[in-house]
Chain A
Amino acid sequence: MKLRIVVTLKNGVLDPQGKAIQHALGSLGFDGVSDVRAGKIFELTVADGTSDEAIDEMCHKLLANTVIENYRVERI
């Protein structure tokens, strides 16, 4: 079973990398980009039947720092 885990900064947490990318898009002439948030993607291959709880635990314990980040799990 394959999982894609998307980790992004929480709303309200300043994302300086996102801001720099937004600025660069502006200077390339792409107007109207009002916000950019940078994040990370992890693709995991796990044993079939791995429980939701175990996946959540992986995210909480290591993949995301839930002080500043949210995560979303997609099955692919």
Chain B
Amino acid sequence: MKTAVIVFPGSNCDRDIAVALERVTGTAPAMVWHGESELPDGLGLIALPGGFSYGDYLRCGAISARSPIVRAVVEAAGRGVPVLGICNGFQILTETGLLPGALMRNRDLNFVCRDVPLRVENVRSIFTGRYEKDEEILIPVAHHDGNYFADAETLDRIEGEGRVAFRYAENVNGSAHDIAGLLNAQGNVLGMMPHPERRIEAAHGGDDGRRMFEGLMEAVAA
């Protein structure tokens, strides 16, 4: 499966996701600079990495969301290309409007950096097919602005459409409805604050994250 990782100035998890994708798919992803305006053809996944693009100036993800390549990402998402935004990538996805809501400063104002239990909510998406419904998995988080906010009407819509992919079994940041991972209406865009790419093999303490990439490969090949 061909994949691409978008490289923004200031991001520090682009290499993590690149290593994870290469391990799982067997092929190194294309690393695409934020100033480019075109993506390679035939991608099975576009990844927006975690980190602090543009130093989180203005708002987390705000400046990246207006970069030339993200216009191409939004267009590809519209054509059904799978897009995964992790941490800062999730913030970028909400800033583009591909996902509703916004990520705010953590409720307790702390930077939270540890493994957190998540409950798998939606197992029908292309990202979550390898998980069991209500299964508890352990995925690391590392963020200061992961407190998911949306107005009541939006939350009702998201819940009604079954778009919550993962919930915090332990809500570490104050997110509305314990939302840790959110899908778009078409199901091809997933944003999540936890880092699945940091838990793909025994040396990481487990491989709960690996199954997301394996499930995606299966779904894309099908």
Contact = CB atoms under 8 A, between A and B. Distances in A.
Report if A and B associate in a common complex.
yes
Interface of A: 13-14, 16-17, 20, 61-63, 65, 67-68
B171 interface: no
Interface residues of B, number: 20
B78 to A, nearest CB: 19
A14 B59 contact: no
Contacts of B106: 16
Q: Which of A17, A61, A68 has the most CB of B within 10 A?
A: A68
B177 to A, nearest CB: 14
A65 B59 CA distance: 8
Interface string B138-149: 000000000101
B102 A68 contact: yes
Contacts of B107: 14, 16
A62 B109 contact: no
Name the prevailing secondary structure of the A interface residues: helix
Contacts, number: 36
Contacts of B150: 67
27 contacts: A13-B104, A13-B149, A14-B104, A14-B107, A14-B174, A16-B104, A16-B105, A16-B107, A16-B108, A16-B109, A16-B147, A16-B174, A17-B109, A20-B109, A61-B66, A62-B58, A62-B62, A62-B66, A65-B59, A67-B94, A67-B100, A67-B101, A67-B102, A67-B149, A67-B150, A67-B151, A68-B149
Name the prevailing secondary structure of the B interface residues: loop
Given A67-B102, A67-B151, A68-B104, 20 more contacts: A14-B104, A14-B107, A14-B149, A16-B104, A16-B105, A16-B107, A16-B108, A16-B109, A16-B147, A17-B105, A17-B109, A62-B58, A62-B62, A63-B58, A65-B95, A67-B94, A67-B100, A67-B150, A68-B102, A68-B149
A65 B109 contact: no
